């Protein structure tokens, strides 16, 4: 099959590799209808993660089941499925507690930017649609494999409640989905921090009531002004750097929670800083499977359209250009068609 391979920082190529295949009776193989590039793919692309040998990349996709292992019961070849980026058996105690991202049999999609992807724990992971979705739904359905449930997780972790003022740090696809999630969870004011016009536009389309085109202390000051000096009731941290975490913590009012879903890169937190203002920190890898049924209904009912985070669609052959566009912030999020 043709798959995207990260050879080294900045060196992304589409190459022929062995087909994704059933390795365990609980596996499925999905023919990818649409994949995409994630902000977190930019970390290794930029050389900011530890070096690895050349490997397939891409953890987000939707598609059609091609083949299933002998133990798989809930999906069959031909089913159109959403593929959560983290695979879970959905039966272990962690899954039953709603933390599928801590599953005892955790797995990941590793060739989402390719023709086929192997899915472990297919019964516990995949969610099948009835029939084949309309083409116009593809972008929104694709967000359900990662960025929309991840933004949702930030909002759940931040304990957004009706009437709240929520601040979203990060204007990538996850941050924008965080804006949408906070609105859906009842926040009355949603403040998006963004200095990029196209992203500001999506944030507003998703319901942001305020856009603050600033960072760091300047952004914190703006949030304080917007909240009568109090700080925000809930903060969604959707980046994963020390700077973004600092901003998030400083925007929070005493007693508030920072819901953080940006994969942390070298983020060290002084516990005393949280202690002095009773600011809590909650988050991590989103339990996509837990949120999927609810979010899928919202998409299918046309109540939300998170697919607006995609502002570019490319063929798999052009994936390297997709990485460049996201790296240079010329694109918010790139959809990849195999």
Which residues here bind a copy of itself, judged by CB under 8 A? 93-94, 97-99, 101-102, 157, 228, 230, 245, 253-255, 257, 260, 263-265, 267-272, 274-285, 287
Distance of CA 286 to the CA centre of its chain: 8
Least distance between a copy of itself and beta carbon 232 (Å): 12
The first and second tokens of residue 56, run together, are 């397939």
Which residue is associated with the tokens 């819901």?
Answer: 259
Strand partners, 258: 235, 281
Rounded to the nearest whole angstrom, what is the least distance from the CB of residue 199 to a copy of itself in the complex? 24
DSSP class of 207: T
Question: Minimum distance from CB of 256 to a copy of itself (Å)?
Answer: 9
> Rounded to whole angstroms, how far apart are CA atoms 64 and 53?
29
Name the residue nearer to a copy of itself (CB basis): 268 or 301.
268
> In DSSP terms, which residues pair with 56 in a beta bridge?
5
**By C-beta, is 102 or 198 nearer to a copy of itself?**
102
Question: Cα dihedral sign for 44, 86, 136, 171?
Answer: negative
Which residue(s) pair with 165 in the sheet?
189
Query: How many C-beta atoms surround the C-beta of residue 80 within 10 A?
Result: 19
- Residue 42 vs 280, nearer CB to a copy of itself: 280
Please, what is the minimum distance in Å from the beta carbon of residue 174 to a copy of itself?
13
Residue position matching structure tokens 């000096």: 229
What tokens were used for 75?
Answer: 């999906």
Q: How far, in Å, CA of 62 to CA of 75, rounded?
A: 14
Residue 194, C-beta contacts closer than 8 angstroms, at least 6 positions apart: 171, 175, 200, 203, 211, 212, 213
* Closest approach of a copy of itself to the CB of residue 96, in Å: 11
If the CB atoms of residues 80 and 260 are measured against a copy of itself, the closer one turns out to be 260
- Within 61-160, residue ranges assigned H as helices are 93-96, 122-125, 138-143, 147-157
Closer Cβ to a copy of itself, 287 or 322, answer by number: 287
- Give me the least distance between CB of 233 and a copy of itself, in Å please: 8
Question: Of 40 and 185, which CB lies nearer to a copy of itself in the complex structure?
Answer: 40
Please, what is the minimum distance in Å from the beta carbon of residue 40 to a copy of itself? 12
Cβ-based nearer residue to a copy of itself, 113 or 155: 155
C-alpha distances in angstroms, 173 versus 134, 170, 300, 329, 333? Answer: 22, 9, 20, 12, 6
């Amino acid at each position: 099959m043709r798959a995207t391979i990260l050879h080294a920082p900045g060196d992304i190529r589409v190459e022929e590799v062995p087909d994704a295949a059933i390795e365990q009776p609980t596996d499925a193989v999905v023919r990818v209808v649409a994949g995409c590039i994630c902000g977190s793919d930019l970390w290794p692309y930029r050389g900011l993660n530890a070096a690895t040998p050349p490997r397939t990349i891409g953890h987000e996709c939707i598609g059609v089941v091609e083949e299933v292992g002998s133990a798989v019961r809930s999906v069959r070849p031909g089913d159109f499925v959403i593929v959560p980026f983290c695979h879970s058996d959905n039966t272990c105690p962690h899954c039953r507690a709603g933390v599928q991202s801590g599953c005892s049999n955790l797995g990941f999609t590793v060739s989402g930017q390719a023709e086929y992807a192997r899915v472990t724990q297919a019964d516990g992971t995949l969610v099948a649609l009835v029939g084949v979705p309309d083409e116009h739904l593809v972008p929104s359905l694709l967000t359900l494999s990662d960025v929309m449930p991840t933004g949702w997780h930030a909002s759940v972790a931040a304990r957004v409640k009706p009437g709240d003022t929520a601040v979203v740090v990060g204007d990538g696809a996850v941050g924008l989905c965080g804006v949408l999630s906070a609105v859906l969870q009842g926040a009355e004011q949603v403040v998006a921090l963004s200095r990029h016009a196209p992203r500001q536009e999506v944030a507003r389309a998703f319901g942001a009531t305020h856009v603050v085109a600033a960072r760091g202390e300047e952004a914190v000051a703006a949030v304080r002004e917007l909240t009568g000096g109090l700080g925000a009731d809930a903060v969604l941290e959707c980046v994963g750097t020390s700077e973004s975490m600092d901003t998030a913590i400083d925007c929070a009012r005493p007693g508030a929670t920072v819901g953080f879903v940006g994969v942390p890169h070298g983020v060290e937190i002084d516990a005393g800083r949280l202690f002095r203002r009773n600011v809590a920190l909650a988050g991590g890898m989103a339990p996509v499977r837990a949120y999927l049924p609810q979010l899928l209904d919202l998409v299918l009912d046309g109540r939300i359209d998170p697919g607006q985070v995609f502002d570019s669609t490319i063929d798999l052959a052009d994936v390297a250009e997709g990485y460049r566009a996201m790296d240079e912030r010329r694109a918010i999020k790139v959809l990849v068609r195999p």
